[in-house]
């Protein structure tokens, strides 16, 4: 029996670059003596998944199935919730809901904003 695949498993350069930095929360939190098990953006990520589903852009079940496929084939060694974030963004990019160039540009803008003093 063939299994229908939802995810486009091709690697995405922007996400590969982020992954290769190795800055997952379970790596960096101990360096700073932080005991909170979750990064500060985790709840926002969970809420974003709900928003995408309730508005019909990405139904919850489709998202979880593609997340499983991407976890097995592409982001398996990335810890959660970073894996969940990468899988979500991967899916949005592959479906054309967000464009990779726009995202890279916005990331630069966001970083500048967060680092402003």
Partner 1 sequence: MQTAHKHGGDGHAHKAAPTVEEITDFEVLEIAVRELAIEHGLFTAEDHRRFTEWAESVGPAAGSRLVAKAWTDPGFNARLLEDGVKACKEIGIDWAEPTGFGTPSDYMNFRVLEDTPRLHHVIVCTLCSCYPRPVLGMSPEWYRSTNYRRRLVRWPRDVLAEFGLILPPEIEIRVEDSNQKCRFMVLPVRPSGTENWTEEQLAPIVTRDCMIGVALPRPGRTADVHPVHKARRPVQSSTQHGRAAE
Name which position in 1, 3, 101, 114 contacts partner 1 (CB under 8 A): 114
CB closer to partner 1, 2 vs 20: 20
The two tokens of residue 75 are 């982001």
Rounded to 10 deg, the angle between the 82-94 and 42-54 helix axes is 30
Are the CB atoms for 92 and 53 separated by under 8 Å?
Answer: no
The residues in 50-69 that bind partner 1, with binding defined as CB under 8 A, are 50-55, 57-61, 64-65, 68
The two tokens of residue 14 are 């922007």
Distance CA 105, CA 108 (A): 5
Distance CA 95, CA 4 (A): 17
16 binds partner 1 (CB under 8 A): no
103 binds partner 1 (CB under 8 A): yes
User: What are the residues binding partner 1 (CB under 8 A)?
Assistant: 17-18, 21, 23-25, 28-29, 31-36, 39-41, 43-55, 57-61, 64-65, 68, 71-73, 76-77, 80-82, 85, 88-89, 92, 97-98, 102-103, 106-107, 109-111, 114-115
């Amino acid at each position: 029996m063939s299994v229908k695949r939802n995810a486009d498993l091709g690697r995405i350069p922007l996400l590969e670059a982020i992954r290769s930095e190795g800055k997952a929360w379970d790596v960096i939190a101990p360096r700073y003596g932080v005991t909170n098990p979750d990064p500060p953006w985790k709840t926002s990520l969970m809420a974003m998944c709900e928003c995408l589903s309730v508005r019909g852009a990405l139904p919850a079940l489709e998202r979880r199935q593609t997340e499983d496929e991407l976890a097995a084939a592409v982001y398996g060694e990335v810890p959660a919730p970073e894996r969940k974030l990468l899988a979500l963004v991967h899916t949005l990019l592959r479906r054309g809901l967000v464009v990779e160039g726009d995202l890279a540009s916005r990331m630069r803008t966001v970083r500048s904003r967060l680092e402003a003093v």
